[in-house]
């Protein structure tokens, strides 16, 4: 039935054209953003899950920063500790030489001066073993340092401080000790040897802590990569598929426009009946 009041064909063509335009807009958004779910209106549940995982992933950046800072603090302490160990080896040599009863006064005085210089150098090294205002070797920290281990802040890795100050529990050499006599030199040999063993053990402990932070840092990096992959699986668009869909929809849109044009022109055919 022909009518100038209603045109069912045009209405159907218009509905299909609007549907194609909506699909085309969705495909264009996915191709331009690379995301199948770029906002809550695309898929609220998936978007919420992905957003939560993004927050987790970014929080891990703070964890990495904390672990890297902890590593740097320990590395500085280790470097200083190795220097202290080397100084103690030289001090032991000086003490052993000074224990020789056949030495003349001038030689003993020279050895003592060298010993005192090495002793004072230990204090200088320990006091300067600071990174970011933190010193693990000067006794200023009683509880060590803690580094974040997870994104919630509920887990930490603790690194104990190692007090290498003169006259402490690790370095038994006192800040005023000398080797000016045979007796003090002989006593100092054992003191320095004991201190050297204790320093080496302290450095081993710091090395273990540094490795623990490094292992955790590697894990956090892998976890971030895994989270990124998981988020991509949730929200990323299949660009090859969407590209093909986009081409098909563009063709479909052109055909829809032609179909609508044909449907709109059908009512004009009525004019032929009245010629």
User: For residue range 200-238, what is the model confidence (pLDDT) as tens digits?
Assistant: 999 999 999 999 999 999 999 999 999 988 988 888 776
Q: Is the pLDDT of residue 105 over 60?
A: yes
Over 70: is that where the pLDDT of 3 sits? no
Overall average pLDDT of the 2-13 stretch: 66
Contact 224, 60 (CB under 8 A): yes
Q: What gap in Å lies between CA 192 and CA 120, rounded to an integer?
A: 14
d(CA 11, CA 7): 6
Residue 50 is predicted with a pLDDT of 87
Q: Which residue has the higher pLDDT, 164 or 270?
A: 164
- H and E: helices and strands count for the chain: 5, 4
Which of the two residues, 15 and 185, has the higher pLDDT score? 185
pLDDT over 80 at 175, yes or no: yes
Contact 84, 136 (CB under 8 A): no
Mean pLDDT, rounded, for 50-68:
91
For 2-46, the DSSP string reads: --SS--HHHHHHHHHHHHHHHHHHHHHHHHHHSBS--STTT-HHH
108: phi then psi, degrees, rounded to nearest 5: -65, -40
The average pLDDT across 18-44 equals: 74
Instruction: Find the mean pLDDT for residues 148-164.
Output: 93
**pTM of the complete model:** 0.76
Percent of the chain with pLDDT over 70: 85
Least confident of 52-56, 174-178, 240-244: 240-244
């Amino acid at each position: 039935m022909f009518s100038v009041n209603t045109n069912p064909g045009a209405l159907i063509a218009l509905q299909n054209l609007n549907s194609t335009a909506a699909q085309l807009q969705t495909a264009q958004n996915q191709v331009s953003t690379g995301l199948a779910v770029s906002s809550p209106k695309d898929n609220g549940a998936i978007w919420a899950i992905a957003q939560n995982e993004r927050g987790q992933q970014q929080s891990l950046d703070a964890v990495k920063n904390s672990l890297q800072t902890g590593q740097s603090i320990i590395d500085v302490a280790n470097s200083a500790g190795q220097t202290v160990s080397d100084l103690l080896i030289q001090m032991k040599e000086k003490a052993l030489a000074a224990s020789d009863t056949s030495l003349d006064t001038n030689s003993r005085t020279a050895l003592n001066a060298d010993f005192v210089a090495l002793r004072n150098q230990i204090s200088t090294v320990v006091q300067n073993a600071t990174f970011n205002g933190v010193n693990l070797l000067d006794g200023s920290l009683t509880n060590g340092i803690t580094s974040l281990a997870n994104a919630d802040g509920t887990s930490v890795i603790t690194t104990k401080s190692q007090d290498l100050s003169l006259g402490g529990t690790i370095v038994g050499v006192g800040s005023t000790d000398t080797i000016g006599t045979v007796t003090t030199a002989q006593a100092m040999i054992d003191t320095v040897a004991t201190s050297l063993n204790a320093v080496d053990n302290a450095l081993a402990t710091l090395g273990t802590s540094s490795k623990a932070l490094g292992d955790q840092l590697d894990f956090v990096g892998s976890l971030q990569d895994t989270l990124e992959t998981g988020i991509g699986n949730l929200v990323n668009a299949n660009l090859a598929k969407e590209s093909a869909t986009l081409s098909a929809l563009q063709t479909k849109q052109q055909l829809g426009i032609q179909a609508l044009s044909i449907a709109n022109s059908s009512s004009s055919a009525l004019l032929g009946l009245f010629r």
